[in-house]
Amino acid sequence: MSFAVIVTAFFLMFLFCNLLIYSDKVTNILYYVGMTLVVFSAFNILFKLRNKKNFIIFASFFIVTILFSLRAYQLFIVLLIILSFISDYKIFAGYNNQKNRIIRKRDLVYSWFIWKNFSHSCYSYERLMGMAFAHSMKNIFKRLYSDRDTVRKAIHSHTEFFNTEPNMGTPIHGYIISLEEERKLKNESFEEGNISYIKKSMMGIAAGLGDSFTQVVLTPLYISMSLMLCLDGSYYLSLLPVALLALNIILISYKGFMKGYYYGRDSLMERIKAVKNSKIKKYFPFMFSAILGSTMGNLLYPAVVENILTKIIIILVILLTFIVQTKRFPGPNSNL
């Protein structure tokens, strides 16, 4: 089946290449279809943000980019300066190594490393991340117990259903490790205590929290900056936003893991408050609108200046998007 898909893909690729070579009409049709989809997607995003300020920011940067040839790297530098002032440092805050128990710092680091790399490696509808969670606890239990049968039972106890956002939810892992360590120090059996209930009660909160920040704010922000730089020809510089995104995610994951171990459930509550009051989350729509305006300006500049048909298409698509979005989201409380 896979071989058939690959063969079909190559056949269609060569077919379309030949069509593009021998037919200017096909090229023009694909060009205008692509142009329509790009404009529709951009304004669909703006309408979903549902704020007049976003349209003003988008239009301003679109016009400035076309009239004054605003370069993407210039806007990128401005955005980095803004991010340095509004960054939520509590999310990345460190911790004090105050515990002196069985679990060592390197045990925690190794457990975090396993979770970071294998959190999505063994999915099933029955357990989701449960197997990955158990895998990340393997070296912890080997440190706590010397008996192989006990280690096996301990690991198996964490193969149950588990699902959360893998980076913002790491305080859960650290906290569970500290609870397992306390259980060992108190010589409790695996049937005693309520570690399983604690883990399940925390995972839902962290899942919603993480998705609303890492997936909805951080990733679109940095990836859009990278795309903006690519369209402006700054290919090497476009790697920087991707690297910054990766660094942010790693720091969020690592710091949360460690703080969960040292501070317990309070670390997750602190993270929830930090995300709720996040200035990056608050100002993200405005920064994204500026990036979108600059990107569209660089992308459409030649077509807008040289081709009247492109101008007509842009106007028609904007009107169509407005009509569709108005019908989908009617109401007196709309900001549009």
Give pLDDT tens digits for 174-226: 999 999 998 888 877 665 557 888 888 888 888 887 788 888 899 999 999 99
CB 40 within 8 A of CB 267: no
For 25, 61, 80, 262, the CA distances from 74, given in Å and listed in that order, are 38, 12, 10, 42
Q: Which residues pair with 162 in a beta bridge?
A: 128
pTM equals: 0.79
What is the model's pLDDT at position 249? 92
Extract the tokens encoding 159.
């193969």
Quick check: is 188 in a domain? yes
Q: Cα(322)–Cα(332) distance, rounded to whole angstroms?
A: 16
252/219 Cα distance (integer angstroms): 13
How many percent of the chain have pLDDT more than 70? Answer: 79
Residues 239-253: pLDDT tens digits? 999 999 999 999 999
Mean local confidence (pLDDT), 69-81: 88
Orientation angle between helical segments 239-263 and 219-231, nearest 10 degrees: 170
186 domain-assigned: yes
Does some domain include residue 162?
A: yes
Helices 239-263 & 170-185, crossing angle to 10 degrees?
Answer: 30
Q: Which of 8-12, 77-81, 186-190, 332-336 has the highest mean pLDDT?
A: 77-81
- Is residue 213 within 8 Å of 253, Cβ to Cβ? no
Residue-number span of the structural domain to which 122 is assigned: 105-206
Does residue 333 register a pLDDT over 50? Answer: no
Q: How many CB atoms lie within 10 A of CB 277?
A: 11
* Other beta carbons within 10 Å of 34: 10
pLDDT for 48 equals 78
Tokens of 204: 């839902």
Is 120 part of a structural domain of the chain?
Answer: yes
Residue 96 belongs to some domain of the structure: no
**Residues contacting residue 151 through CB under 8 Å, at least 6 positions apart:** 138, 141, 142, 145
3-state class (DSSP) for residue 191: coil
128, β-bridge pairs:
162
DSSP state at residue 101: S
Count: domains in the chain: 1
179, part of any domain: yes
**Is 174 a member of any domain?**
yes
Q: How many other C-beta atoms lie within 10 A of the C-beta of residue 180? A: 24
Tell me the per-residue pLDDT of 96-155, one tens digit each, with 9 for 90 and over. Answer: 565 557 888 899 999 999 999 998 888 788 888 889 999 999 999 999 998 899 899 889
